[in-house]
A and B are shown apart, each in its own frame.
Chain A
Amino acid sequence: MILYTPLAQSDIFPPSSDDYTNRHCITHEGRLMLADRTSDGGYQMVQLLSTNPYDFLEERFTPGNILS
């Protein structure tokens, strides 16, 4: 499907309120990160918010990681 419209995508497909409530900004092992709450009550990492480039090389902080 191709939609040509000046409207924003979110105006046409409004996000469900779950999308907002699931995403959290948390601190894990001293690093600030965005994470989604999974159905079993854990967190899955979405984005690491750090200015230290070496944090991004650590496998513990790769996006998609299940945080424990």
Chain B
Amino acid sequence: MMEKEPEKKDEQSSSSSLVEKIQQLGQVNVPQAPDTNIHVLSIIGQVEGHVQLPPQNKTTKYEHLLPQLIAIEQNPKIQGVIILLNTVGGDVEAGLALSEMIASISKPTVSIVLGGGHSIGVPIAVSTNYSFIVPTATMTIHPVRLTGLVIGVPQTFEYLDKMQERVIQFVIQHSNIKEEKFKDLMFAKGNLTRDIGTNVIGVDAVKYGLIDEVGGVSDAMKKINELIEQNSSMMEESRVIQ
């Protein structure tokens, strides 16, 4: 009698948690998995900078991502990172900070542009060791803009011009695109309805040298495993020399 009691209780609680789960998301079972040596960083929605956006906006906050990138660099169990991008862009300096962090990580990094990697998403996409874009994804390249109060017009222009130059320099250093071509795309007229710039589609991004290859998840996984192998054999070699 005493033994049967807890069993019954267990059954009850498990069925009520099942009901709760269905109410929450409409899903019941998710598989369990062991540890992984490849971590994933997703950059979604808007890249949020110094101004906090209202909660209905989907944002990627740099104060969340920067410590995660440090943790990835520090953790010996993590051997590679995949960056998933589906972003409309956002704060230029936050985006550049993220790009520089990703570019300076010692572990192999691979990015996949899905849907869109617009505006400041471009330097983030090219900051990795190897970049992929799915055929349907697009990347909008346009000049730096700002909203808000402008006090000194010549000074503001100068400041924006320098900021833009930093973005351009970063992109041409980390991809195969020529400065000339990138600027042509950035200042093209007649492509975007209310702006100057170009909307580059997957295959074209590869053709211009901005992105390394057209591909999806399986290509990216293959590439990162290849880079991890190269990285570990290089480490092994340096150990032997020491």
Interface residues of A (CB under 8 A from B): 6, 9-10, 15, 19-20, 22-23, 25, 32, 49-54, 57-59, 62-66
Contacts and interface: CB of A to CB of B under 8 A. Distances in A.
A26 to B, nearest CB: 12
Interface of B: 20-21, 24-25, 27, 29-36, 38-41, 52-57, 64, 68, 71-72, 78, 81, 194
A30 B68 CA distance: 13
Given A53-B38, A63-B25, 9 more contacts: A22-B55, A49-B64, A51-B68, A51-B72, A52-B39, A59-B29, A62-B24, A62-B27, A64-B25
Contacts of B31: 57
21 contacts: A9-B56, A10-B56, A10-B57, A15-B54, A19-B55, A19-B56, A20-B52, A22-B55, A23-B55, A51-B39, A51-B41, A51-B68, A51-B71, A51-B72, A51-B78, A51-B81, A52-B40, A57-B32, A62-B24, A64-B25, A66-B24
A57 B30 contact: yes
B57 to A, nearest CB: 8
Summarize B's interface: helix, strand, loop or mixed: loop
Contacts of A50: 68
A55 B69 CA distance: 17
Contacts of A63: 25
Counting chain B CB atoms within 10 Å of each CB, the highest count among A10, A50, A53, A57 belongs to A53
B60 to A, nearest CB: 10
Given A32-B64, A49-B64, A51-B39, A58 B52 contact: no
Nearest to B147: A8
A18 to B, nearest CB: 10
Contacts of B34: 54
Given A6-B194, A15-B55, A20-B52, A49 B36 contact: no
A50 B72 CA distance: 11
Contacts of B36: 52-54
B24 A65 contact: yes
A53 B17 CA distance: 24
A43 B98 CA distance: 29
B33 A59 contact: no
A58 to B, nearest CB: 7
A-B complex: 5 closest residue pairs judged by Cβ atoms: A64-B24, A15-B54, A51-B39, A54-B33, A59-B30
